[in-house]
Amino acid sequence: MPLEVIGVGFGRTGTMSLKLALERLGFGPCHHMTEVLRRQTADVWAEAAAGKPMEWDAIFAGYRATVDWPACHYWRELAAHWPAAKIILTTRDAESWYRSTQETIFGEIPRQVLGSGTSFERVLRAIADRDFGGSFTDRDKLIAGYERHVAEVLALAPPDRFFAFNVADGWLPLCEFLGVLAPAEPFPRANERAEFMATLNAMREQNRL
């Protein structure tokens, strides 16, 4: 099954809401960072961070879409591997995004994981090193990394396959881009932090992290 949608936005830009929306629209299952924990695939992504060539068909077997870290790091490779896939950049004001990371994933998760010696720690460190100058908290480094990523996507994504999307805009623009009918129900508003922390805590309780 080929990927049909590649989400290239960083976490805390509405990626969990987009995941739920895509699955509701028939583009599921959709890969997300939470899947790395649930399926215990951190080893694979740690190898990717170390530069090992990836078997994308095997990694995304059974998925029709992907969003969030760590896959968004490799969006160019994924877009080349699946040339018919649509590319969606979830957008958010940079300052708002930074504050959100500190109140949620970057304020809490690194403290629970860093120093654990696990593959998931290596995945997190790769995110910090690649995008944020090795930091999860430095405002200037995080905002610079966020803006750099957005600029790269805007410059390099094929225009005929690309859509910049703010989840606050709801179903209509997303469905128009994907060529599907908009559901009558409200657009998903996911609590990404709660979802991720619940998964993380479950893994810790099972001694799988």
Interval 175-193 mean pLDDT: 91
Which pLDDT band holds residue 35 (cuts at 50, 70, 90)? confident
Mean pLDDT computed over 70-92: 98
Cα distance between residue 177 and residue 97, in whole Å: 24
What SS3 class is residue 5? strand
- pLDDT higher than 80, residue 137: yes
What pTM, to 2 d.p., does this model score? 0.92
Which of the listed ranges 21-30, 41-50, 112-121, 194-203 does the model predict with the highest average pLDDT? 21-30
pLDDT at 38 over 90: no
Higher pLDDT pick, 50 / 8 = 8
Task: Please report, rounded to a whole number, the percentage of residues in the chain having pLDDT higher than 70.
Answer: 89
The pLDDT confidence band at residue 19, using thresholds 50, 70 and 90, is very high
What contacts 72, CB < 8 A, 6 or more positions away?
Answer: 7, 8, 9, 10, 66
Question: CATH number, domain at 40?
Answer: 3.40.50.300
Using alpha carbons only, how large is the chain's radius of gyration in Å? 16
Residue-averaged pLDDT of the chain: 91
CB 45 within 8 A of CB 36: yes
Question: Would you say residue 140 has pLDDT above 80?
Answer: yes
Segment among 39-43, 78-82, 178-182 with least mean pLDDT: 39-43
Segment 114-130 mean pLDDT: 86
- Count Cα neighbours of 19 within 13 Å in the Cβ-side half-sphere: 24
H helix intervals, the chain: 15-24, 33-38, 42-49, 56-59, 75-81, 94-103, 105-113, 119-132, 139-156, 171-178, 192-205
The pLDDT of 103-109, averaged and rounded, is 78
Is pLDDT of 112 > 80? no
Number of domains in the chain: 1
DSSP-assigned letter for residue 136: S
- pLDDT for 120 equals 84
Shortest CA distance to 12 belongs to which of 87, 107, 154, 77? 107
Average pLDDT in the 57-73 region? 97
* pLDDT exceeds cutoff 90 at 205: no
In terms of residue numbers, what domain contains 133? 5-205
- At position 193, the amino acid (one-letter code) is R
Q: What are the structure tokens assigned to 126, written together? A: 């790769």
Please provide the DSSP assignment of 76-96 as one string.
HHHHHHSTT-EEEEE---HHH
